[in-house]
């Protein structure tokens, strides 16, 4: 049910191809707004290298305020080769990590599916990939990303602590179980419980939550084995729940299943705030060339609409994207012969046009 007719959306185009893919996503968002008489007020703000260049900070206070006041945030990408040196004091990535933490976005949802029309593009064999449809629930505000880090012993020893509180595990595991009930009713915990104490706590908490969801099938897969199973048998997975760093790694790996990282959307959810962004990065080599794939960002808008309760809009976008893939509106990352590729804006236009087809 649609309960509100006006939404304030913070738009953070960011760096590299971010502004281009966000422009296409906005086209699609506004087309949905027009169709359903919903007003989306867009409030633009800077994050990442673009923000560092203007203000010296990767997450300016004004940007954070815009995000706090918004009903949802749409982000393009952050990262710039000028700031690639990981020893720099100020880096674009800090902006994203601080924003996730400040908004309390503990649950990162990354759905991965094999579109029939793209099966030939996956480097994996069709018979293994066909029908794959999984979602990764990645913990996003804890673990090794946010643990104590530093140097000791005259700079000759470095450490990054991976710690989790029970409540941090509980809240994301619960969301993963709830998601499974709406899907194939299966949750896999990916961890390294044969080695890490933090993983053993994840298992304990997982087993407790599982008691509330007796109808849901569960298993554990160690992360090294999961990395292999993801390629060997992606159809075995439904919902995967895992820690921050393991989720980061296996979600890039999972993108291979659908043929391009340019297809993967994500939602980062907290109690009060939510942010939607493509899984891919800023792809500086393609910036300004109108060749980037906008579909991950467009599909992130679908996740945003679903989260805002506008399910019809989400379904329309997902159907329009599938239709455009079938009709071969493909950017060059999805083309075997790049001379046949559509531009970023052509694909955005094609999706916005395909939305006009009523959903039955």
In the annotation, is 252 catalytic?
yes
- Which residue's CB is nearer to Mn ion, number 248 or number 333? 248
- Which residue's CB is nearer to ligand IPM, number 31 or number 248? 248
DSSP output for 300-323: HHHHHHHHTT-HHHHHHHHHHHHH
What are the structure tokens assigned to 194, written together?
């044969």
In the annotation, is 116 catalytic?
no
Minimum Å distance from CB 97 to ligand IPM? Answer: 6
In the annotation, is 53 catalytic?
no
Minimum Å distance from CB 80 to ligand IPM? Answer: 12
Phi, psi of 112 (to 5 degrees): -135, 125
In the annotation, is 192 catalytic?
yes
List 15, 191, 248, 333, catalytic entry:
248
Which positions lie near Mn ion, rule CB under 5 A? 248
- Which residue's CB is nearer to ligand IPM, number 96 or number 305? 96
List 145, 164, 283, 333, catalytic entry:
145
List 53, 84, 160, 224, catalytic entry:
224
Minimum Å distance from CB 93 to ligand IPM? Answer: 4
- Which residue's CB is nearer to Mn ion, number 279 or number 286? 279
Minimum Å distance from CB 248 to Mn ion? Answer: 4
The entry of Mn ion, ligand IPM, none near residue 93 (CB within 5 to 8 angstroms by kind) is ligand IPM
In the annotation, is 191 catalytic?
no
Pairing relationship of beta strands 107-113 and 265-269 according to DSSP bridges: antiparallel
Helices marked H in the chain — which ranges?
Answer: 18-36, 49-55, 61-69, 92-103, 126-129, 166-181, 197-210, 223-232, 244-258, 295-307, 311-326, 344-354
The entry of ligand IPM, Mn ion, none near residue 245 (CB within 5 to 8 angstroms by kind) is none
| Whole-angstrom distance, CA of residue 94 vs CA of residue 59 | 8
What are the structure tokens assigned to 310, written together?
């506008």
The entry of Mn ion, ligand IPM, none near residue 144 (CB within 5 to 8 angstroms by kind) is none
- Which residue's CB is nearer to ligand IPM, number 102 or number 312? 102
| Whole-angstrom distance, CA of residue 136 vs CA of residue 266 | 10
Residues 6+ apart with CB under 8 A from 199: 191, 192, 193, 243
Which positions lie near ligand IPM, rule CB under 6 A? 93, 96-97, 248
Minimum Å distance from CB 248 to ligand IPM? Answer: 5
The entry of ligand IPM, Mn ion, none near residue 178 (CB within 5 to 8 angstroms by kind) is none
What are the structure tokens assigned to 219, written together?
């298993």
Phi, psi of 242 (to 5 degrees): -160, 170
52, 15 Cβ separation under 8 angstroms: no
The residues annotated with a catalytic role in the active site are 145, 192, 224, 248, 252
């Amino acid at each position: 049910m649609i309960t509100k007719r006006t939404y304030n959306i913070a738009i953070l185009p960011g760096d590299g191809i971010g502004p281009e893919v966000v422009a296409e996503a906005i086209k699609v968002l506004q087309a949905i707004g027009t169709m359903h008489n919903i007003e989306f007020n867009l409030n633009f703000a800077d994050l990442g290298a673009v923000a560092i260049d203007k203000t010296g900070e990767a997450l300016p206070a004004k940007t954070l305020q815009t995000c706090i006041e918004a009903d949802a945030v749409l982000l393009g990408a952050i990262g710039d080769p000028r700031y690639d040196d990981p020893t720099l004091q100020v880096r674009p990535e800090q902006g994203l990590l601080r924003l996730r933490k400040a908004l309390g976005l503990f649950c990162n949802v990354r759905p991965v599916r094999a579109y029939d029309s793209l099966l030939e593009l996956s480097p994996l064999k069709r018979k293994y990939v066909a029908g794959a449809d999984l979602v990764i629930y990645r913990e996003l505000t804890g673990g090794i990303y946010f643990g104590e880090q530093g140097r000791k012993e005259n700079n000759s020893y470095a450490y990054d602590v991976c710690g989790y509180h029970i409540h941090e595990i509980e809240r994301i595991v619960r969301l993963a179980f709830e998601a499974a009930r709406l899907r194939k009713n299966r949750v896999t915990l990916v961890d390294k419980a044969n080695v890490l104490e933090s993983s053993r706590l994840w298992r304990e908490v997982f087993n407790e939550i599982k008691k509330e969801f007796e109808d849901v099938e569960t298993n554990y897969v160690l992360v090294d084995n999961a990395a292999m199973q993801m390629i060997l048998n992606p159809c075995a997975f439904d919902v995967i729940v895992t820690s921050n760093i393991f989720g980061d790694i296996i979600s890039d790996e999972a993108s291979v299943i659908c043929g391009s990282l340019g297809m993967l959307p994500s939602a980062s959810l907290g109690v009060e705030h939510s942010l939607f962004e493509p899984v891919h990065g800023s792809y500086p080599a393609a910036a300004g060339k109108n060749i980037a794939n906008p579909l991950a960002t467009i599909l992130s808008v679908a996740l945003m609409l679903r989260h805002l309760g506008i399910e019809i809009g989400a379904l329309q976008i997902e159907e329009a994207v599938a239709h455009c893939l079938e009709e071969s509106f493909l950017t060059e990352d999805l083309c075997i012969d790049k001379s046949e590729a559509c531009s970023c804006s052509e694909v955005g236009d094609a999706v916005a046009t395909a939305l006009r087809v009523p959903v039955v």
